[in-house]
Amino acid sequence: MLIGKKHFLTVGAMALAMAVQAAPALAQQKSVAVTAIVEHPALDAVRDGVKEGLKQSGFDEGKNLKWQYQSAQGNTGTAAQIARKFVGDKPDAIVAIATPSAQAVVASTKTVPVVYSAVTDPVAAQLVPGMQASGTNVTGVSDLLALDKQIELIKKVVPEAKRVGMVYNPGEANSVVVVKQLQELLPKAGMTLVEAAAPRTVDVASAARSLIGKVDVIYTNTDNNVVSAYEALVKVGNDAKLPLIASDTDSVKRGAIAALGINYRDLGVQTGKMVGRILKGEQPGAIPSETSSKLELFVNPGAAEKQGVTLSDALVKQAAQIVK
């Protein structure tokens, strides 16, 4: 009987010790809510990169990280609903991918830490007052591209181009910023910009068709409507022998001739590491916004042939990836 009692006490002590050890682990559990305006390859790569960046920072889903994700499926009203839900959940941080989702989340909270990602101009989108530490609950990683390098790429692909078409959503702040900058920069390079509005994804094809005969090349930024419906744009480009040049490298895999852009998986990892710093105790307002300086050139010789262009050997040799 005495042996059984000792055994019982030993088991009880072990259980108590295990409970004490488990308590800190439970205390270290962190929660991150992630939302994107829509699902397409670039934004999906950001989302997956965020998870990888968190893992590299020591936060692993199912162990010490609660992860939830929702897409607004391209609807800004849905983006606002998701933002309100996530704020109500009171996670340790909210990650907002792309400008419309970031704007919705930032409008919904002044207290929950918010980290934006894949936002071209966070200042113009009124997410932060500047790229320095904001002093607010918001920081993040921009996918801003130097447009002079984009214009150089256009010239390399279509040397005789004078009129550059751009299909974009006038309701997306990052696209409006790019349009304004191109309006200023293209004339200095001897070119002009011709715009075609696509407020919805279903408008992309008709907007592209409206440019036939008016432009020598179509340039697309990371406009979410356009990227979501890129195949429709490619059909127009192929049928009309109208060259397509993108700033999103995934679009080259889908039929653009070339793109000089950011690796969005890497951008997501960069974002995830920033979120990790916040989960470890840093204040978002003390962390300056960041950009990515790592650009990659993708080319698609097959698409070039379909769209009436021959790529120079020099340009193909510069490519980080040749899509076939």
Entry pTM: 0.80
Whole-number pLDDT of residue 23: 40
Rounded to 10 degrees, the C-alpha dihedral 129/132/265/170 comes to 20
What is the number of residues in the chain?
A: 324
Residue 320: CB atoms within 10 Å: 12
Same fold, 30-144+263-295 and 147-261+296-322: yes
What pLDDT, on the 0 to 100 scale, is given for residue 26?
Answer: 42
> Whose CA is closest to 32, among 99, 145, 117, 100?
117
**Predicted pLDDT of residue 24:** 42
DSSP string, 205-243: HHHHHTTTTT-SEEEE-S-HHHHHTHHHHHHHHHHHT--
Q: Fold for domain 30-144+263-295?
A: Rossmann fold (3.40.50)
Alpha-carbon gap, residue 292 to 86, rounded angstroms: 27
H or E element in which residue 65 lies: strand 65-71
Give the C-alpha separation, 23 to 312, whole Å.
Answer: 63
The pLDDT assigned to 294 comes to 83
Nearest to 143 by CA among 129, 169, 122, 113: 122
| The CATH fold of domain 147-261+296-322 | Rossmann fold (3.40.50)
Structure confidence at residue 146 (pLDDT): 87
Average pLDDT for runs of 10 along the chain of length 324: 46 46 56 96 95 98 96 96 98 97 98 97 95 98 93 97 97 92 97 97 97 98 93 98 96 97 94 98 98 92 97 96 94
Nearest to 290 by CA among 265, 276, 307, 273: 273
Q: What residue spans define the domains of the chain?
A: 30-144+263-295, 147-261+296-322
User: Whose CA is closest to 303, among 323, 320, 321, 285?
Assistant: 323
